[in-house]
Amino acid sequence: MTPTRTSPARARRKEAAPPDPKALAVEFGRRLFTERDLGVIDELARPDAVFHLPGRPALSPAGFQGVVRQLWRAKPDVTAEILDVFAEGRQVAARLRFTGTHLGELFGIPPTGRRVALDELLVEQWDEQGRLVELWQEAGYLGMLTGLGLLPAPEAGPLGRLRHTLAAVPRFARLRARARSADHSRGLHAGGAQRSEDA
Q: What is the edge-to-edge ordering of all strands in the sheet holding 132-139?
A: 45-52, 132-139, 115-126, 91-101, 79-88
Determine the distance from the C-alpha atom of residue 5 to the mean position of all C-alpha atoms in its chain, rounded to a whole number: 50
pLDDT tens track for 87-120: 999 999 999 999 999 999 888 888 999 999 999 9
pLDDT tens track for 84-96: 999 999 999 999 9
- CA dist 1 → 4, 5, 139 (Å): 9, 12, 64
Helix (H/G/I), strand (E/B), else coil: 74: helix
Q: Which residues contact 172 (CB under 8 A, 6 or more apart)?
A: 109, 110, 150
Distance CA 92, CA 21 (A): 7
Architecture field, domain 18-151: Roll (3.10)
Closest CA to 172 of 110, 120, 117, 127: 110
Distance CA 42, CA 132 (A): 10
User: Backbone phi, then psi, for 111, in 5-degree steps?
Assistant: -55, 130
Determine the distance from the C-alpha atom of residue 37 to the mean position of all C-alpha atoms in its chain, rounded to a whole number: 12
Distance CA 182, CA 174 (A): 12
pLDDT by 10s per residue, the chain, length 199: 555 555 555 555 556 678 999 999 999 999 998 899 999 999 999 999 999 999 889 999 999 999 999 999 999 999 999 999 999 999 999 999 999 999 998 888 889 999 999 999 999 999 999 999 999 999 988 888 888 887 777 777 777 777 767 776 777 677 777 777 766 566 655 554 444 334 3
CA angle 80, 82, 84 (to 5 degrees): 155
